[in-house]
Structure 1
Amino acid sequence: MATDDLDSWMWAEAVARQERADRLQKQFFKRATPRPRRQWEPPVDLFETQDALYVIVALPGVSNATLTELEVRGDTLFVAGDRRVPTPGQEAVLHRLEIPHGHFERAVTLPWPRLAIAGHELKDGCLYLTLSKR
């Protein structure tokens, strides 16, 4: 084997190994994909009368300030916000955390088209919505 052929072969082998190392590095050290924002979905009750639809969304510990979305688009109601973990004090030791916290989103398909939010109230850990029929 000629020296030029050996040098070319070694160079080609080195380039191929570098490309493989780059691919492996990209495979194992790629950017972390963002975690989905939604962490929990609150339960919902729907009641219908002749004039309106009443929606109750269980949102313990959620205030108006942390409710970020409340909207009807088409035939879907969207409710979103955040529930922070309550901290009773610096000395508190957490033994159990069962009530959901963090960001929540809920999309509810409504049984009646073209509803509009006529009123809402956060009371007793629930969001009470009145959706008027048009």
Structure 2
Amino acid sequence: MWAEACRLLMQAEGRQRHSFAPRQAASALPVWHPPADVLETEREVLILVALPGVDPAAVEAAIEDGTLHVAGLRLLPPELRHAAIHRLELPQGRFERRIPLPSGRYAAPVRHSLVNGCLLVRLEKAG
């Protein structure tokens, strides 16, 4: 039982590292991909994207061909740029995430805000 628990923990850590690994974006710049949840109610689709420390005003969010495209930049705060780094696990730099949306039409505009370290995108269903 202990060995199985350790194996599952190692798998989870590997998936987390893979989620935050730099990748090539359409712009050819290295990016990281934040984890996201997609929830649907009768009136709207809610997308939570884990972006602690990111200013929501600096995040681009748009619907393109049935996909929500979220992009932006996370940088170290200016007061930490010359600090000695002992551990840096939160990814820095450009991030980008494309999230397929449930089929349907959505009212404009795409609204987003920051809630408990997550970007919350609210897409109101049209019609």
User: What one-letter code is carried by the residue in structure 2 that aligns with 1:104?
Assistant: F
Matching residue of 2:47: 55
| 1:96/1:131 CA distance change after superposition, 3 Å | same
If the length of structure 1 is used for normalisation, what is the TM-score? 0.64
Matched, 1:102 2:93: yes
Alpha-carbon shift at residue 90 of structure 1 (Å): 6.9
The Cα offsets for residues 46-84 of structure 1, whole Å up to 9 and x where unpaired, read as 1111111111111111103432x2101221001000000
Aligned-partner residue type, residue 129 of structure 1: V
Contact kept? 1:75, 1:115, Cα under 8 Å: no
Q: For the Cα contact (< 8 Å) 1:115–1:131, is it kept in 2?
A: yes
Displacement after TM superposition at 1:89 (Å): 4.6
Query: Where do 5+ consecutive residues of structure 1 fail to align?
Result: 1-34
Read off the aligned partner of 2:85 and give its amino acid letter: L
Structure 2 vs 1, CA of residues 107 and 90 (structure 1 numbering), >3 Å: closer, same or farther? closer
Taking a change above 3 Å as real, the CA distance of residues 40 and 114 of structure 1, as seen in their structure-2 partners, is same
1:36 aligned partner: 28
Q: Note closer, same or farther for the CA distance 1:38–1:115 as it changes in structure 2 (3 Å cut).
A: farther
Root-mean-square deviation (Å):
2.1
Larger Rg: 1
Q: Percent identity?
A: 42
> 2:53 is matched by which residue type in structure 1?
G
Q: Which runs of 4+ in 1 moved over 6 A?
A: none
Query: Paired residue for 2:123, among 119, 124, 131?
Result: 131
Letter of the structure 2 residue corresponding to residue 123 of structure 1? V
TM-score (norm 2): 0.67
Q: Deviations over 1:3-57 (max 9, x none)?
A: xxxxxxxxxxxxxxxxxxxxxxxxxxxxxxxx83242011111111111111111
